Amino acid sequence: MKDKIIERFKTLIRFDTTSDPESSSYPSTEAQNLFAEVIAGELMKIGLKDIGIDQYGYVTGTLPGNTDGPVIGFIAHMDTSPDCCGYGITPVITENYDGKAIERKGPCLSPDEFPELKQYTGKTIICSDGTTLLGADDKAGCTEIITALEYLTAHPEIKHTTIKAAFTPDEEIGAGVDHFNVDKFGCDFAYTVDGGVIGEISYENFNAARAKIDIKGKSVHPGNAKDVMINAGLIACELNSMLPENEIPSATSDYEGFYHLTKISGNVENAHMDYIIRDFDKNNFEIRKNIIESIVSTLNRKYGANTISLNMYDEYYNMADIIKKNEYVTKRAVDSINKAGIKPLIEPIRGGTDGARLSFMGLPCPNIFTGGHNFHGPYEFICAESMEKAVEVIINIASEQ
């Protein structure tokens, strides 16, 4: 099965499916529509039924059950993060990894920097050549779902209820389930296959908001600027300095929230800033948003009304409250991970998944591991044996309990 997983994964990561947060279309890039056709073709080849691509680019398929029980869904997203180049991906496959640095065209992948590599000594590591991301987030999930359903199709002696698969666009820009029809999907519960390290299962995630800030300055000749010039670029710097300096991604972990400046551009006349705001605790989440609003108000009083405009909106919420009311969904996954001979790791997601929003839409949907590490950048890697275990866990979840 490992060889089949690697070949399918290599095929899927060849396709550039980078999502675009500035796009007004859905999906945000045409490449995702083309990739949807590829996924649908894979589902057709393995014998799924009711395969479809709707007007929004969602791909769905059904494996009819051979026993009674709940209808279970598995979901992965097709897009890759715009944080790093996602085209021209060249996988580097290191079999029987020796625990040393993996040399690549780009920066090497070293256990000195990423000590977790050591745990995969003797196994097969897949990474990019260092000039792009790898695309394991979430083409690993796509690969694992398809391979698990292929196995169940080929082994009708395994008792399972009806299983449905869905593949979504634009998850990386927070729009993955904007048009997802939960009722039409028709599942009692589901799992996103979009997690990290082997054994991981998550049902807690950040509350998330995004802030877009525009600053209007006044440009005059610097020789005559006294008491006249308003430098939008400097105001942007001042605004950022008013946020808590240690509440940023690189200084936080576990259940700590943060402000993350994802984009800044500008000059004297105009400046623009994008932030994402994250916190597990709903009250702290609201406080963080209030702090942004307060800073903007303070600077508008200092530099003049309407100098700064703020567009802030919520993206998704912590699914923990929903999942805790449906504990059997998590238990089924934990039991299936144990059955695969893996220690379950119940970890909070320092991010979000489609499952967070789906849970609030009436479809309880925790997240299970893919086996990947270091998503969204050139140091991304995945262990093929972990992918094989993810397939086994999906089969276990789907099988009669």
Q: Are residues 171 and 219 in the same domain?
A: no
- What is the CB neighbour count within 10 angstroms for residue 177? 28
pLDDT for residue 17 is more than 90:
yes
Q: Which of 170, 171, 172, 380 is catalytic?
A: 171
Q: Are residues 217 and 296 in the same domain?
A: yes
Average pLDDT of the chain to the nearest whole number: 96
Q: What is the pLDDT of residues 103-132, one digit of tens each?
A: 999 999 999 999 999 999 999 999 999 999
Count of structural domains, the chain: 2
Q: Are residues 24 and 143 in the same domain?
A: yes
Give me the pLDDT at residue 113, please.
95
Q: Are residues 297 and 352 in the same domain?
A: no
Q: Is-contact 363 187, C-beta < 8 A?
A: yes
- Position 149: which residue type? L
C-alpha span between 149 and 205 (Å, rounded): 27
The parent domain of residue 273 ranges over 207-316
Q: Are residues 41 and 14 in the same domain?
A: yes
Residue 235's domain is classified under what CATH number? 3.30.70.360
Single residue among 298, 316, 334 that ends a domain in this structure: 316
Mean local confidence (pLDDT), 87-98: 97
Q: Are residues 131 and 16 in the same domain?
A: yes
Q: Is 171 a catalytic residue?
A: yes
Give me the pLDDT at residue 286, please.
98
Q: What is the pLDDT of residues 34-84, one digit of tens each?
A: 999 999 999 999 999 999 999 999 999 999 999 999 999 999 999 999 999
C-alpha span between 299 and 330 (Å, rounded): 46
Q: Are residues 249 and 356 in the same domain?
A: no
Q: Are residues 154 and 253 in the same domain?
A: no
Q: Are residues 229 and 357 in the same domain?
A: no
Q: Which of 79, 172, 194, 380 is catalytic?
A: 79
C-alpha span between 257 and 277 (Å, rounded): 8
- Position 27: which residue type? P
Spell out the residues 6+ positions from residue 240 whose beta carbon is closer than 8 angstroms to its own. 261, 264, 273
Single residue among 273, 293, 316 that ends a domain in this structure: 316
Q: Is 79 a catalytic residue?
A: yes
Residue 201's domain is classified under what CATH number? 3.40.630.10
Q: Which is it for the CA torsion 119, 125, 126, 132, positive or negative?
A: positive
Question: Percent of the chain scored above 90 by pLDDT?
Answer: 95
Three-state SS at 158: coil
Q: Are residues 70 and 219 in the same domain?
A: no
Q: Which two tokens stand for residue 192?
A: 């996103």
C-alpha span between 395 and 344 (Å, rounded): 16
Q: Are residues 328 and 384 in the same domain?
A: yes
Mean local confidence (pLDDT), 320-344: 94
Question: Percent of the chain scored above 70 by pLDDT?
Answer: 100
Q: Are residues 177 and 224 in the same domain?
A: no
Mean local confidence (pLDDT), 163-175: 95
Give me the pLDDT at residue 401, please.
64
Would you give the end-to-end CA distance of the chain in angstroms? 23
pLDDT for residue 363 is more than 80:
yes
Strands 163-168 and 59-63: antiparallel
Single residue among 274, 290, 316 that ends a domain in this structure: 316
pLDDT for residue 293 is more than 80:
yes
Mean local confidence (pLDDT), 280-307: 97
